[in-house]
Structure 1
Amino acid sequence: MNNERQKVIDELIRERRSVTSFKPDQVPTDELIELLEVAKWAPNHKMTEPWRFLLYTGEGTETFIQAFIESQPAPGGQISEGVQKKADHFRSIPVHLVVIMPEDPRQKTWDEDHAAVSALIQNFQLAAWARNIGMIWRSNDWIYNPTFREKIGVKPGEKIVATLMLGYIKDVPKPKKRTDIKEKLTIISE
């Protein structure tokens, strides 16, 4: 690998941020598919490609939002102020992508699949960032709620690894301090 490619990759990794502020512009579905085509090159043991996706864009985002609302306890049948506020925020996000994997009962396979899906998500984030598309990787408690899962079509035996909320970047957050890797590294040389 030449030095220029190394610099580009290093810079891309260091600059990527979780983004929560998006422009209202829609991201074309073809561009999202292209990003997933790039992301699928993630390492995955035995080439199992243990992922599937639910893409909510345009008017389809309301399906995702309604599933979220219906999964939240509603005292007296009324949507709470907090749930309504979160739903309104979700409406300001152009795209919601749910990333799903099979829950294999064999722990080793489950671990390998989860690692592969996580690598795919990171590839997706980096490829998107290079195109000025930001996102935040959410794994909130409501992704485990049976109502939410059923409403969006997650089958028994599947795990939601992430809900990626994404769009063209409006504001880039400042970087947060990271621990010097030497504090996390043990070197065994003999």
Structure 2
Amino acid sequence: MNESAVFATNVIDVIQERRTVKKFKADPVPVETLTRLLDIAVWAPNHKLREPWRFLLFTGDGRQKLADAVTAELGEDNKFAAAIMNVPVELIIVMKEDPRQAIWDEDFAAVSALVQNFMLAAWSEGIGTFWVTKPFLYSPVFREQLGILPGEKIVGMVYAGYPEVVPKAQQRTPAADKLTVFD
């Protein structure tokens, strides 16, 4: 078997075996590991290598800053701030917004591919992830607390850590059921 075939099988396995993890062990994930995974993730396809992303990483005591930003928007009695403190890592992925729709769309697709790359790379090293999009991510109060500027979009927040529980696979609709072929 040639080397590229072995690699392709590994990628396929990681894609099919990855799960959304919502329960994490308390064990910290080293910043060096997360940085290395981001260095892998940035190989996402992106038109003209615009690299329209930046990252905010919250670990250890730094998670409190994120919890405080959520509390500033939602008030003291909210479940999200508590959840943040119970997850080892939160990563916010921010996209520079271009006013030209076609470029905005290309950049959003690139950043989404980057998030998927990060999640797959993390899974290949035993780190679970959960891509979160919540209404508070759009809040001016929340954004200001974290230095998210006008002209930037939060594409998502990724919870990460070593899985406490790995969910069972959910059935997927075969692509053939949603495929139109023109020949």
Distance in 2, matches of 1:97 and 1:5, equals: 28
CA-atom RMSD in angstroms? 1.1
% identical aligned pairs: 46
Match of 2:67 in 1: 65
Match of 2:171 in 1: 177
Deviation at 1:65, TM superposition (A): 0.6
Deviation at 1:6, TM superposition (A): 2.0
Match of 1:17 in 2: 19
Select 2:120's aligned residue among 126, 135, 152. 126
Q: Unpaired runs of 5+ in structure 2? A: none
Map residues 129-144 of structure 1 onto 2, 5 A cutoff.
Answer: 129-144=123-138
**In the alignment, is residue 7 of structure 1 matched against residue 1 of structure 2?**
no
Runs of 4+ in 1 over 3 A off after TM superposition: none
Tell me the matched-pair count: 181
Select 1:161's aligned residue among 150, 155, 169. 155
Quick check: 2:130–2:160 contact (8 Å CA) kept in 1?
A: yes
Deviation at 1:175, TM superposition (A): 1.1
Deviation at 1:86, TM superposition (A): 2.8
Distance in 2, matches of 1:123 and 1:180, equals: 22
Pick which of 168-177 and 140-149 moved more: 168-177
Match of 2:50 in 1: 48
What letter matches 1:160 in structure 2?
I
Deviation at 1:92, TM superposition (A): 0.7
What letter matches 2:55 in structure 1?
F
Distance in 2, matches of 1:36 and 1:129, equals: 13
Distance in 2, matches of 1:68 and 1:110, equals: 27
Deviation at 1:24, TM superposition (A): 0.4
What letter matches 1:25 in structure 2?
D
